[in-house]
Amino acid sequence: MPTTTVTRTYRIRREDTQALMIDVQDKFVPHIFDMDKITKKARILIEGLGHLGVPLTINEQYPKGLGHTISELKAVSGDAPVFEKSAFSSVDDEHTWRHLAMQNRHHVLLFGIETHVCVQQTALDLLDNGMQPVIITDATSSRDPYDRKIAIRRMRRAGAVMTTAEAILFELLRSSQDPNFKAISNLVK
């Protein structure tokens, strides 16, 4: 059987991964489709990433008017840095972009709101800057489910990876022999 050299890695490794939570803020909550599920999946993801040592960064869009990150998620975010932004794309915010680039981790897990605005623009800009966005589809939403659906389709076609909170945690875990297996398993039950 012939052998080939693979230049692209499809599996996502924790040592090459970071996460960015986008704009999960107080004033958005009543308007976002399926927000209870989004919050639950985001909490599971954040706690799991903490067990796995994957760094988390938080963005807040104009917190003076939109409030801060919701308390349920802030409580499990540890000492994750929070960057205020006014641009829709996190990459367009100089402080956020510098922080993400300095992590030297190619894969960026994206989750938050709204899928068709800030998440999508961030994903497209990450691709333009040579990074690989990984959209946590069950931890991102919009006011209108149709806007979310079209944004997911566009990001996928542009080259973003689509997955779920549980799937990415087990992919980063890689094996039931990992010391974090029990903690991750308990989170997703």
Tell me which residues are annotated as active site: 23, 85, 118
Ramachandran angles phi, psi of 183, nearest 5°? -60, -45
What gap in Å lies between CA 16 and CA 153, rounded to an integer? 25
Q: Please, which residues have CB within 8 angstroms of residue 47's CB and are 6 or more apart in sequence? A: 76, 187
**Residue 40 burial (CB count, 10 A):** 15
Which token pair is 88? 């829709």
Cβ atoms of 123 and 159 within 8 Å: the answer is no
Cβ atoms of 85 and 96 within 8 Å: the answer is yes
Cβ atoms of 10 and 99 within 8 Å: the answer is no
